[in-house]
A and B are shown apart, each in its own frame.
Chain A
Amino acid sequence: MAYWEPIRELGEEPLIQPGSKLREVTHDIASVSETAAPRGWWICFLIASSFTGVFALCVAYLFYRGVGVWGNSSPVYWAWDITNFVWWVGIGHAGTLISAILFIFRQRWRTAINRFAEAMTIFAVICALIFPGIHVGRPWLLYYVFPIPNQMTLWPNFKSPLLWDVFAVGTYFTVSLLFWYTGLIPDLATLRDRSLTKWRQRIYGFFALGWRGSNRHWQHYERAYLILAAISTPLVLSVHSVVSMDFATSVIPGWHTTIFPPYFVAGAIFSGFAMVETVLLIARSVFNLKRVVMMRHLELMNKFLLLTSLLVGYAYAMEFFMAWYSGNQYEMAHFLKNRPTGPYWWAWLWMVIPNCVVPQLYWFKRFRTSIPVMFVISILINIGMWFERFVIIVSSLNRDFLPSSWGIFRPTIIDVGVFVGTIGVFFTLFLLFMRWLPMVSMTEVKGTMPQADPHRHSEDEGAHDPVKIVDEEPSGAGDLVPEGAE
């Protein structure tokens, strides 16, 4: 029961450049880690690791002086720290969405992007988890959030949404990591089998766990993958729902709304897809993966972005409508006055225009299939989604019930440094991943190719075809046993 089935049916379009051979797929993807890194990789890596250095310096200063080095002050005690946390967790949603939900729905085009998106999830969630870790003020007491015995004989309060968040994001990270690693095992075996040096063979071999493509193994493996996909589907929907409850269970106008869980999930998927696209476009050109990541995949992603943009736009509109419909003066003052015309009106425009207006270009095929257009739009969406969280958090807090306690939040250079630094951390990890691990699932891509169809006759496989005799020389393997020898 291959869950990624070969292309066979009439009218189905190939998911990989027609005429590609299995070996070419292996070679295209595996050779990235076997050859010297292209210059583009080094340029990106140097920039990314410099920002990682900025991050380390800013966090060191933060730990030395305390959270006062940020702009947070009365009444805005949650600002960029939580904005960044929610933004990164949101970006982390596309990975599991692509690997789990699209898997369950048999959207086989996902094979070109799922490994990528899963890696992105893991690195984005690492960046997200940094913020709750550093914003507590006394990071050495962070273990209070875990239910472990401590000197005060106190347990965490399980009624608090903040604690639900610890479990939701922690579970999400762990399950994403397991899912990613499970998918990697057969591909790590490929790298092990192709390795020419002892150390490569040992390191990849260690993590490949002795995988030998056995069908008795594939059987349990595929079942494990299906179960992981099935349990990750509700998980991915739950994580941002729980994050949204940090806000929705409070009484602040702008936060206290029941639409938050689905609204946050839609926004998370929207921003996650945009980030996958940004990174994918860079990798596609740096590593020349046009054979595997086709325009068709990119166009499908753009359609998905259009859909989620409409969902997000609907949620924005519904917030406004409910503020007016409720008749609550605080809600109306917040949504109808403070957000569009208050001190953060420009942030509100940055939220609405990139998220709801710009993606409407994707109604036209010309824009859906233009690489420069989709690159710019994917970055604009990420900026827009950051501003969405900024608007929700800061502009809700800066004007609460009493005008006497109103105030303005101004970020400091350390706020900027920490945030930009996490982008550096993310890309550093991502570039290392692209360099050393197969960034497209070779196994799954091969499984969708016509050659994977066992009912297809092998005439164009090279087996009986003298024209394809060049195919005889296996690459990567050492001395070959002559035919029929023992």
Chain B
Amino acid sequence: METRARKTRRTPSVILAEFKSAHEVLHAAEKVHEAGYVRWDAHTPFPVHGMDKAMGLKDSRLGWIVLAFALTGLSGAFVMMHWMNGVDYPTIVGDKPAGAPGTLPSMVPILFELTILLSAFGAVLGMFALNRLPQHHHPLFSSDRFRLASDDRFFISIEADDPKFDLDATRTFLEGAHAHTVEVIEEDAS
């Protein structure tokens, strides 16, 4: 609450509210969303059913990233096999044609495998990119209570740079949403 004059000035960066059940956090999230906050998040030990809707999140775009990776894998596999066995060093085995289209049937397994391989990388790396992971430093990690977010507690965090953020008003608001505890996390002001 107070901003004492220290060597490094500390300013609030996140306000963190703790809830005890999935039911409570879901309703609180609905209230935060209705109140018009934008830079906020819910933290739960497992994905809570209906939370995306309560938070008003749009559908994940990950599928499009995976599609791009899949097509890269498919076309890359075709180009590789056709160029290596058909163009650069035509390899004739068993009197079969060296390159496409004659070898297309024998290309199927590797076309398939490389499509899957690249799709899997697309899914995992795309998920990391959309989530901005890895991110080992975050203001929330300075809260001791927040350690329970991966155990059995549920949290809502509202960031200080949210346009609607006001330290006292936001705290009162979260307390009114039946938060079990409310904590202000401070950060060194730059």
Residue of A218, A232, A455 with most partner-chain B CB within 10 A: A218
Binary interface encoding of chain A residues 455-467 relative to chain B, with 1 for a CB under 8 A from any of its CBs, else 0: 1111001110000
In chain B, positions 112-169 with a C-beta closer than 8 Å to chain A are: 112-114, 116-117, 119-121, 123-124, 126-128, 130-131, 133-138, 140-141, 143-153, 155
**Which of chain A's residues 204-253 have a Cβ closer than 8 Å to chain B?**
205-206, 209-224, 227-228, 231-232, 234-235, 238, 242, 245
Complex formed: what's the CA distance from A232 to B184 in Å? 44
Contact A220 B183 (CB under 8 A): no
Which residues of the partner chain B approach A458 to less than 8 Å between Cβ atoms? 20-21, 23-24
Interface segment, one of A40-48, A186-194, A290-298, A328-336:
A186-194
Interface residue tally of chain B, by bracket?
Answer: 35 or more
User: In chain A, what residue has the closest Cβ to B171?
Assistant: A486
Nearest-Cβ distance from residue A79 to partner chain B, whole angstroms: 25
Is B120 a contact of A155 with CB atoms below 8 Å? Answer: no
Cβ B84 vs Cβ A486 within 8 A? no
A472 to B52, CA, bound (A): 28
**CB atoms of A213 and B114 under 8 A apart:** no
Q: Which residues on the B side are within 8 Å of A153 (C-beta)?
A: 89
The residue from B51, B66, B106 contacting A159, defined by CB atoms under 8 A apart: B106
* Cross-interface CB contact of B47 among A21, A222, A480, cutoff 8 Å: A222
Out of A5, A157, A217, name the residue touching B91 (CB < 8 Å).
A157
Partner of B151, one of A4, A174, A457, A474: A474
Binds B, one of A119-127, A132-140, A175-183, A269-277: A175-183
Known contacts A167-B113, A174-B117, A219-B57; A213/B43 CB under 8 A: yes
Residues of B within 8 A of A454 (CB): 22-23, 25-26, 48-51
Interface contact A462-B147, CB-CB below 8 Å:
no
B46 A447 Cβ-Cβ under 8 A: yes
With A217-B133, A219-B60, A227-B66 in contact, is A164–B109 under 8 Å at CB?
yes
Cross-chain contact of B145 among A168, A446, A447, A477 (Cβ < 8 A): A477
Complex contact A218–B47 (CB within 8 A) = yes
Given A215-B55, A220-B60, A454-B23, check contact A21 B45 (CB 8 Å): no
Q: Are B43 and A215 in contact (CB under 8 A)?
A: yes
B109 to chain A, nearest CB (A): 4
Considering only CB atoms, which chain A residue lies closest to B186 in the complex? A486
Distance (Å) between the CB of B31 and the closest chain A CB? 14
Residue from A206, A215, A224 in contact with B126 in the complex, judged by beta carbons closer than 8 Å: A224
- In the complex, the chain B residue whose C-beta lies closest to that of A169 is B113
Contact partner of A147 among B80, B113, B128, CB < 8 A? B80
How far, in whole Å, are A158 and B80 apart by their CA atoms in the complex?
A: 10
Q: Which of B35-86 contact A (CB under 8 A)?
A: 41-52, 55, 57, 60, 62-63, 66, 80-81, 84-85
State whether A159 touches B46 (Cβ < 8 A).
Answer: no
Q: How far is the CB of A111 from chain B (nearest CB, A)?
A: 10
Q: Is B88 an interface residue (CB 8 A)?
A: yes
A contact residues, total (Cβ < 8 Å): 92
Given contacts A190-B150, A193-B150, A447-B46, contact A157 B93 (CB under 8 A): yes
Alpha-carbon distance between A221 and B36 when the two chains are bound, in angstroms: 25
- State A155–B81 Cα separation when bound (angstroms): 9
A436-463 contacts to B (CB < 8 Å): 442-444, 446-447, 451-458, 461-463
C-alpha gap A118/B155 in the complex (Å): 30
Q: What's the minimum C-beta distance from A334 to chain B, rounded to whole angstroms?
A: 24
Is residue A327 within 8 Å, beta carbon to beta carbon, of the partner chain? no
Q: Is the CB of B85 within 8 A of A224?
A: no
Chain A neighbourhood of B66, CB < 8 A: 227
B182 contacts chain A at the CB level, 8 A cutoff: yes
Enumerate chain B residues within 8 angstroms of A216, measured Cβ to Cβ.
Answer: 41, 55, 57, 131
Q: Which of B45, B88, B184 has a CB less than 8 Å from the CB of A190? A: B45
State the Cβ distance, A126 to closest chain B Cβ, in Å. Answer: 18
Q: A220-B60, A232-B120, A481-B144 are in contact. List 5 more A-B contacts (CB 8 A).
A: A155-B85, A158-B103, A164-B109, A210-B137, A219-B47
Top 10 nearest A-B pairs (CB, nearest first) are A22-B152, A209-B134, A224-B127, A155-B84, A458-B21, A193-B147, A164-B109, A447-B46, A190-B150, A210-B135
Which B residues lie at the A interface, using CB under 8 A?
1, 20-26, 29, 41-52, 55, 57, 60, 62-63, 66, 80-81, 84-85, 88-89, 91, 93-94, 96, 103, 106-107, 109-110, 112-114, 116-117, 119-121, 123-124, 126-128, 130-131, 133-138, 140-141, 143-153, 155, 175, 180-184
